[in-house]
Structure 1
Amino acid sequence: MSDSPFTPGVRRGPVGRQARVLTLLSLYASDIRPQTVSETINWLCAHNPATTSTRRAAESMFDGITGEGSSVDEIIGRYAPAIPVRLLSIVDRNVLRVAIYELFNRDNIPRNVIINEAVELASMFGSESSARFVNGVLGSVAHDMHASVDSAVN
């Protein structure tokens, strides 16, 4: 098995880990050097090929996240108020962006799967404390999402 983050592995729901990793890396690259999503993904896949479906899924998530950027970042700011979003580590910020986008836009994927995937990405790419931080923020977001659904039903 290769060490490439794009190698086939566990897929979770219609959007697998490969697409999440490619989206995360694309957002990271975009934070450092803004380019079009296609340019960024082409650059990332030059040495780590990805399937066409993975590339499409990553482009779709990237476009969704950047299209909803301010609202996603507002949610991060609301649940991690101690540090301004722009000052969070690039990895933590972008892992949270991917997961929050999925929590609000991918009803077909269970919340716990989205959170677990985000925690794993934070462990793979972030600092020692990234996984704990990401888990705490996303746990609070998911809790409030669940509470708002419960209050809407009652």
Structure 2
Amino acid sequence: MSRRTSREFALQGLFQIDVAKADVHEAIEHVLEQEGAEIDPLFVRDLVSGTSKHVDRIDEILKTNTTGWDLKRMANVDRNVLRMALYEMLLHTETPTSVVLDEAIDMAKAFSTPESGKFVNGVLAKIVPVIDNLRVEFAQGE
């Protein structure tokens, strides 16, 4: 099972929720129905449902780290890559932050614009130094 492919499937689900206003459960089921890829369905479910559950708090963190960028005007893929990466960095502490960062940059490059990798890297690079503090704040808010 590939975590990279699982993240790509989760991104598809988040995109459906964000852009097409799909129901979280329906979006998850839709991406899991796809055949031919070895994914971890539990990981996909967690990334989609967890990111969706915490999207307001995640967006607040992103807003404070994207000066001059309105999240609604951001490229749809970039916005969802950032949301999912931030969720994973905050709540999947077993995954090295550097891995999450690399995966997010690669997905932005692959599924968005040529500049998206640099943009995602820039935003997440501002967050990485304070991720431990954000994890504590996030945990206290639950």
TM-score by length of 2: 0.84
Indicate the residue corresponding to 2:127 in structure 1: 141
Gaps of 5+ in 2: 135-142
Q: How many residues align?
A: 134
Is 1:17 the equivalent of 2:8?
Answer: no
Indicate the residue corresponding to 1:5 in structure 2: none
- The answer to whether the 8 A contact 1:41-1:55 is kept is no
| Structure with a larger share of its residues in helix | 2
Indicate the residue corresponding to 1:124 in structure 2: 110
Q: Which amino acid aligns with 1:39?
A: E
RMSD: 2.0
Aligned partners of 1:124 and 1:21: how far apart in 2?
10
Aligned partners of 1:35 and 1:145: how far apart in 2?
30
Indicate the residue corresponding to 1:39 in structure 2: 26
Aligned partners of 1:69 and 1:32: how far apart in 2?
14
CA drift at 1:103: 0.8
1:81-100 equivalences under 5 Å are 81-100=67-86
Indicate the residue corresponding to 2:17 in structure 1: 30
> Aligned pair in 2 of structure 1 residues 49, 43: CA closer, same or farther (>3 Å)?
farther
Aligned partners of 2:33 and 2:53: how far apart in 1?
25
CA drift at 1:63: 1.1
Is 1:102 the equivalent of 2:60?
Answer: no
In our comparison, the structure showing a higher alpha carbon Rg is 1
Alignment deviations for residues 109-145 of structure 1 (CA, whole Å, 9 cap, x no partner)? 1111110010000011010110000001111100223
